[in-house]
Amino acid sequence: MKATFGAGCFWCVEHEFRKVKGVTSTHAGYMGGSMKNPTYQDVCTDKTGHAEVVQVEFDPSVISYGKVLDIFWHCHDPTSLNRQGPDVGAQYRSVIFCHSPEQEQEARQSKESLLKSGEFEKDIVTEILAAPEFYRAEEYHQQYYAKCGIV
């Protein structure tokens, strides 16, 4: 099964998901913009409309989509609009790209539950959208932390 999330810099998000039992692969990339085949340099202009995302493939017999959503909610600040830490721009927005109506429904319910829980003091600004075309990021972005010896 596939899930795609924008939660700031894709290096950090990919690293978090790669540690999870049941996640079979991750891919850094771009989604949600108007340009075909954008490059990192294109996306960094903040003019293409793309978000840096991580596409997560997971085994639903090992980990549920709900648990994958929980990891997403807690690996970044979903109350921060177009910013995660020092990274600023719409390419760093919090977004869930849904690959089915069932994923969309579960993502909306998950967001609503978090809002009601009071866990976050501010409003959650995460967008929940149908998944458009995924553009895989350049190879040097894939598993970046492992390549740099950070893990």
**18 pLDDT more than 80:** yes
Structural domain containing residue 20? 2-147
**Backbone φ, ψ for residue 24 (5° rounding):** -95, -25
**Chain-wide mean pLDDT for the chain?**
93
Over residues 120-145, mean pLDDT? 89
pLDDT-derived band at 14 (thresholds 50, 70, 90) equals very high
Using the predicted structure, report yes or no on whether residue 141 has a pLDDT greater than 80. Answer: no
| 114 Cα distance to chain centroid | 17
CATH code of the domain containing 106: 3.30.1060.10
Look at residue 54 and tell me whether its pLDDT is greater than 80. Answer: yes
Provide the b/e sequence for 121-136 (b: ≥16 CB within 10 Å): eeebebebbebeebbe
Q: How far is CA 103 from CA 52, 70, 98, 145, in A?
A: 20, 13, 6, 29
> pLDDT, tens digit, for every residue of 67-95?
999 999 999 999 999 999 889 999 999 99
Provide the domain count of the chain: 1
Of the candidates 107, 11, 112, the one whose C-alpha atom is nearest the C-alpha of residue 68 is: 107
Catalytic one among 9, 12, 75, 98? 9
pLDDT of residue 19: 92
**pTM, full prediction:** 0.94
Say whether 9 is catalytic.
yes
